[in-house]
Amino acid sequence: MKQYDTHATADPFARSINAFETLMGTLSGGDADAWTHAELEEHLETAGRELLRQLLQDHLDLRAVREENLVCSGAGPVVRGPEGRVRPWRETGHERWLASMFGLVRVTRIAHRGPGAGNVHPADAALSLPAGRHSMGLRRLAVTEAVRGSFDQAQQAVERRCGKVLGKRRLEELVVAAAVDVDGFYRTRIPLPCSRQMPLVVQIDGKGVVMRPEALREATRRSAAKAAAEGGHRARLAPGEKPNRKRMATVACVFDTRPAPRRPHDVIHPPGGRSDERPVRPGPRAENKWCTASLIRPPGQVIADAFDQAQARDPKHLRPWVVLVDGARHQLDLITAEAARRGVTIHILLDFVHVAEYVWAADHLTAILAGHAARTANEIITQAERDHLSAARREAVDTCHRYLTGHLDQLHYDTALESGWPIATGAIEGACRHLIADRLDITGARWGLDGAEAVLRLRALVSNGDLGPYWRYHTAREHKRLYPTPDQDEYELMA
């Protein structure tokens, strides 16, 4: 790496000016006349980045000279460490490297020292330099690319933009470190107010992620070890089937919606089709959607986080709370317990798409939408007995009957349609597809726990549109962690 001296010159930006004039000379020379626009772009991309790097280097060198001049004049302030002890000695020429968006630069500053105490570098705090070599701008770029595509693709994108400043393994570490303040950030966020007439919707679901063996939950790891020990030949797996290799992520979303009353025939077309006399009424749409997800946290904690978001939107419980689920019993138990703990009344609805997978006849579905789920379950059994179905078909009927009768308290679609509430989990299905399938489930991916959790939470952050505010909050938190002050605990940082 080419070294840069920091001695004072007549113009502290002389090297930057020289680089700029060299670039202008190249572009105005005869050789450049023969370049295509693509060749011009390529040259400017490289030379322009080097010019920006030199500008940054010159500015850092200028700050170093000014710091030395201030200390030599005796006008500098008394420097204390985070524990409050004075650092009476000063030593110039302490250097460190910084990998920036434009390339590597060198930061020269003064170390303030004291007997039996660590060095203090006021310039580091003034520049808010990170603990490692990579700048916060470079870290944000790494996060932006890593949550979008694979780590290999992210590393290549960073290299195209910034040069060879970041390896793949360090990129993964930066992504994990970037997610540490997500919980604190959302504790400081105040959702936009909403009228009490707008329903508040909570949706919960789960989706598996293929993990490395050491990142699996203990029960899954034991099952995988048992299957490996038994060996044997397995038939071809179904699409997406990866036995004993997945860890379940819990996904939750909260959103507001405007009431959109409908009729059963707006959801299920009547036999023979619809007439043009009664147009279909549109269903409710999600507004201000917020998502969260986790592989590490237990489902109960993710559900509590979703209820925290709902509570922030409706602290006095004046709005109707609608909770849509896919029927998993453990989720229902956790949701019911969380609602009871908070003293909030919730309306739990089973995803109508799941119900339709069990009930195959449109007239039965219409009856269920009209609020006659119990009667429909009995009619299905009666019809099966009358038709003397085969054993296999009768088992399907009995399964449908058990499903309906076991969830009667979650099938009040007549109330939901009249009130204009959603009855399907399209929002959470889309969140699972976007947060997990589109990134964590790419072909050949096997995840470690920390990396998968960080990518999942950062993707949720990006999906919520909060990356910009979060990064400002995260940068401020990093500064407080690296450069604490004796009175730091007397105030709370807000997003």
User: Using CB atoms within 10 A of its CB, is residue 198 exposed (0-12), middle (13-18) or buried (19+)?
Assistant: buried
Question: Which of 191-205, 233-247, 478-492 is the least confident region?
Answer: 233-247
Q: SS3 string of 112-164?
A: EEECCEEEECHHHHHHCCCCCCECHHHHHHHHHHHCCCCHHHHHHHHHHHHCC
pLDDT in tens, 90-123: 999 999 999 999 999 999 999 999 998 889 999 9
Question: Which of 170-184, 197-211, 253-267, 370-384 is the least confident region?
Answer: 370-384
Structure tokens given for 369: 């939408």
Nearest to 455 by CA among 183, 178, 254, 217: 178
DSSP 238: P
Residue 191's pLDDT is what?
A: 87
Cα separation of the two ends of the chain: 39
Structure tokens given for 179: 């997610």
pLDDT in tens, 250-280: 999 999 999 999 999 888 876 555 556 677 8
Q: Which stretches within 166-284 are classed as H helix? A: 168-178, 182-188, 218-230, 264-267
Nearest to 495 by CA among 191, 140, 185: 185
- Chain position carrying tokens 């990998």: 99
Cα–Cα distance measured from residue 68 to residue 90, given in angstroms and rounded to the nearest whole number = 10
Question: Which of 275-279, 417-421, 431-435 is the least confident region?
Answer: 275-279
pLDDT > 90? residue 228: no
pTM of the model: 0.87
Reported in sequence order, the residue ranges of 260-337 that DSSP labels E, i.e. its strands, are 286-294, 321-325
Q: What phi, psi does 207 have (nearest 5°)?
A: -150, 140
DSSP 488: G
Reported in sequence order, the residue ranges of 211-320 that DSSP labels E, i.e. its strands, are 246-257, 286-294
Cα–Cα distance measured from residue 149 to residue 440, given in angstroms and rounded to the nearest whole number = 9
Q: Using DSSP, state whether 218 is helix, strand or coil.
A: helix
Percent of the chain with pLDDT over 70: 91
Cα–Cα distance measured from residue 192 to residue 13, given in angstroms and rounded to the nearest whole number = 47
Which residues, in sequence order, are CB contacts of 493 under 8 Å at separation 6+?
A: 188, 473, 476, 477, 480
Cα–Cα distance measured from residue 199 to residue 21, given in angstroms and rounded to the nearest whole number = 63
pLDDT in tens, 28-71: 998 999 999 999 999 999 999 999 999 999 999 999 999 999 98
CB-CB contact of 112 with 9 (8 Å): no
Which residues, in sequence order, are CB contacts of 209 under 8 Å at separation 6+?
A: 246, 247, 248, 249, 295, 436, 440, 441, 447, 452, 456
State the average pLDDT for the chain.
89
Residue 102's pLDDT is what?
A: 95
CB-CB contact of 196 with 434 (8 Å): no
CB-CB contact of 288 with 192 (8 Å): yes
pLDDT > 50? residue 449: yes
Q: Using DSSP, state whether 48 is helix, strand or coil.
A: helix
Instruction: Read off the pLDDT of each residue in 456-469 and give the average, rounded to a whole number.
Output: 96
Using the Cα atoms of residue 462, residue 464, residue 466 and residue 471 in order, give the sign of their dihedral: negative
pLDDT > 60? residue 495: no
pLDDT > 80? residue 362: no
pLDDT in tens, 305-361: 999 999 999 999 999 999 999 888 899 999 999 999 999 999 999 999 988 888 866
pLDDT > 70? residue 386: yes
Amino acid letter, residue 253: C
Residue 491's pLDDT is what?
A: 47
